[in-house]
Structure 1
């Protein structure tokens, strides 16, 4: 009898924990059982997919149109049948992009899948950035092709003129002024091609990313999902303490800063222990400070002087090109910020990234 009471108490507590989790998470999530019935959803999911409380307990077949993604039921069935995580980028019929993760909900004592938990992260802005970068690369290639094409004629003329000058003799210099004029014309033509293309096309099409007011925790969740494979493989635990919830910055640049710092924290933790990473935000002396601390291998004072140099890697037995921290430093420095490091060999590291607060903008002290 006593054991039964304890079991009921334990189940009540677990249910309470689950209710609290679903009520407080900031990302859209669904819990669908093995009979394809919607059991729970988070408040962001209610907002994102226009869900109502009365939908709880209904078959997904009846409400699938809310998710505007035609194969969601087939995807759920596949995860329940295989017990394997499904991760994919999807586009809904309202033209928004999401990273959808479907995770099996496993009853471990019975070793069976009793449903799925589905997470949606809006990556529309990320996809837009990628498409813009693809467009920019395509335009760069077109620009180079155009330059190569348009500059052929003056280069060819220049080569012919040089050959003719070489054939001149001391007694046959009457054509020299004409040939020099031809050289000058060819050089001017080359200069005009480059200036016209670069000034009128390249500068006009140059990509400029705009700053916006960002929810820091949403960016962190986005990065965490991007690193989900590394987190799963290493057993990494990422915690956070968000004291400043919003920051005005370029979305893709802030994501890049966080991604590189978290990725390195996971990568440079000894294999015999799981990475433990904490991300904190606070305001300090006119800066928003993002701190990323880890329990990794740490660095000596000499190594700390090298890590922000391009192509510089402290360890050669890990993947990477040595560009990540160089990129982070470039992004932060260009925005008027700075980076500080606190680290000792074998004792982990703390990276503090300082973003200068613009008191003339939306954020006021």
Structure 2
């Protein structure tokens, strides 16, 4: 295959990816064509795409479609070059008589040619994002369905086991048997918690509610829910912002982070937990800082993976942080962890600053 044939095929593939030839008129391309005519000081302009086959005017100024004015003479053209270096067409300007294009006009046309490619790239990225969101939505639905089915299949036998253990607890008196039944009961309880956590993880990721959420008030409620596990006097909380989202889900994030901060305190030491926030560049950043055991740099991302438990000495399912990240990401945010100066960890999450309510679908 010759180099020219290979380039033509590559250009055809790129044009097919952009999906603009034969499609409805892009008003952004139309506006760029009209602007090109003004910059060049000529009556006609066109955004022309083509590969190994015909050339196509996908946007024009001063004439309609592929009907180039009879007396028009090509006055200037600039290649439309993709980020990958493939020339897919030209931005052309026409006039009824020949004349030179000024350096200023030539520079302006070159910039407009780049903007044409930017429009095509932006639409391609937008289309791919929509497709990815559709796949993600399907994936979330399948995950939720799978988790629901698994929980149904597991909870029924667990309920039977739990009832049997309750009956045994009332009957056995031998210390060894009492201890054995108690250990079995704890195992059933852990399995039940694991299933519930899996369901929570699977149910997150879809669009959350879009209400005004006072994170300071949610922190107070989270501490109430954690009574007996996290003492309010062990938590030094600053002022937290008001944002938009799902209050119950965001409270769950705060609860998980506070609970972890308390659980991973060094043995025999009192938890030292700080909750703080700051807002910059249109983002709220909330931090939960502890003086616990810390997390090695190479393992910090692993703690957000489902079922990841780096410290087996502390009870838990390893799903809480994974669920927190899914909740935060569903709110348009991000989440991570870093080392705290002086020892311990800083778990943080960022959310878009409060804005006008989003339309509900």
Q: TM-score, normalised by structure 1?
A: 0.40
**Max radius of gyration: which structure?**
2
Higher RCO, 1 or 2 (CA under 8 Å, sep at least 6)?
Answer: 2
Q: TM-score, normalised by structure 2?
A: 0.40
